[in-house]
Each structure stands twice: as structure tokens, then as C-alpha cells.
Amino acid sequence: MSQNEESVDISQLNLGQANRNAGRDYYEMLIPGSIKLVLATQSRERLNEMAQDNNYLFKYRFGFEATTPVRKQVIDMLTRYDLSDKEIRILKRSGQLVINRTKAILKKPSRWITIFGWAYVVFIGLVVFARLYALTQNQELETAEHILQLILTYVIFSIVLWVVLSLFILPGRILKQSGADREDLPL
């Protein structure tokens, strides 16, 4: 070792589990550019802690605003039933998760709503099938108007199917798979 090269003792410091001094004049810290980056890089436990304290992160994560006690209750439901963020949004949108200023209430799924949803899917499927049958019996199959009618029929059916599945069928399935329907939930 020459005289110019000295052995330097470098110590690294981790401050607040997010910052660290990597040595000499290099200082590293986590400053995310967007909430999406925070959601993509943080652990679920850390996101739960941050969402309880930060209303903006909670709103971006779950799609609705809530008071501090309600945020804590929603996070508790999330961990107790092992639900995802998307499932919480679906339950809120469908009315199975009722939010007021002081409480977050998870309602018991009704079997009749699920039956009504499947009946609605069958009815709309029959209507679309009849419409497609009528369109294919037409002799002028190659016109632009005919093709536009076929595409419009498929688009309308897809939108109606998505709405019915997300509002009537999927919430009951989510609660059943998570085990929440076996507990004593209000109707």
C-alpha cells in the first residue's frame, strides 16, 4: 500500500428504516416520486401502517375517504380476512362494506342477490343470443352496418356482464372465500 492510499474505516448508518449513509459523501434515502411507487415498493404491513395515518394514501389505495377510526377498522378487516385492496374496493362499491363516520360494517352476503345476479346474466345472455341469431340470419352479412351492430351487441353485453358480476356475484364470492360469511355479520 502506498502512502497516498490509506485504509478508511467506513461505517454505514440506517436511519428510520428508509435512509442510509453508504459511506463518504454518498447518502441514500427513499423519496418516492408518486403514490404508485410507494404502493409498488413497500410491504403490506408498512402500507397498512402508512394508510392508517395518511388519508391521501388510504383514499388512493382503497378508493374512498374515511376517518381515522374507520381507516383502522378497514385495515383490521383487511388483515383478518386476508383481503386485497381491490377486494375492499369491490365490497365498498357493491354495498357489502358500509362506511359511516365512526364505523366500517361488513354486511352478510344475501343468497338472493347472487341468485338474482345469475338470473340476470342468463336473461341478458338469452337476449344477446336472440339478437345475434337475428343478425346472422340477415342475407347482407358483409355490410358495415351489420358488422357495427355485431360489435355493438358484444360491447353492450360485455359491459352489462361486468357490472352484474362485480355488483351481484363477486362480493358474495369474496366474502365466502375469505371466511367472513361464516362470522356473525349484520344483514
Do 149 and 177 belong to one domain? yes
Provide the total of helices (H) and of strands (E) in the chain, helices listed first.
8, 5
Q: What percent of the chain has pLDDT over 70?
A: 78
Residue numbers of the chain with a pLDDT score lower than 50: 13-15
Instruction: Give the domain-ending residue among 85, 106, 127.
Output: 106
Whole-angstrom Cα distance, residue 31 to residue 19?
Answer: 9
Residue 4 lies in a domain: no
| pLDDT score, position 26 | 60
Q: Check residue 54 and report its DSSP letter.
A: -
Instruction: Give the domain-ending residue among 106, 126, 155.
Output: 106
Residue 1 lies in a domain: no
Note the pTM of the prediction, 2 decimals. 0.74
Residue 72 lies in a domain: yes
CA dihedral sign of residues 82, 87, 88, 92: negative
| pLDDT score, position 19 | 57
| pLDDT score, position 72 | 94
What own/partner pairs with CB < 8 Å and gap ≥ 24 does 88-91 have?
Answer: 88/62, 89/62, 89/63, 90/166, 90/170, 90/171, 90/174, 91/171, 91/174, 91/175
Query: What is the count of structural domains for the chain?
Result: 3
Do 46 and 91 belong to one domain? yes
Domain around 101: 42-106
| pLDDT score, position 14 | 47
Residue 2 lies in a domain: no
Residue 22 lies in a domain: yes
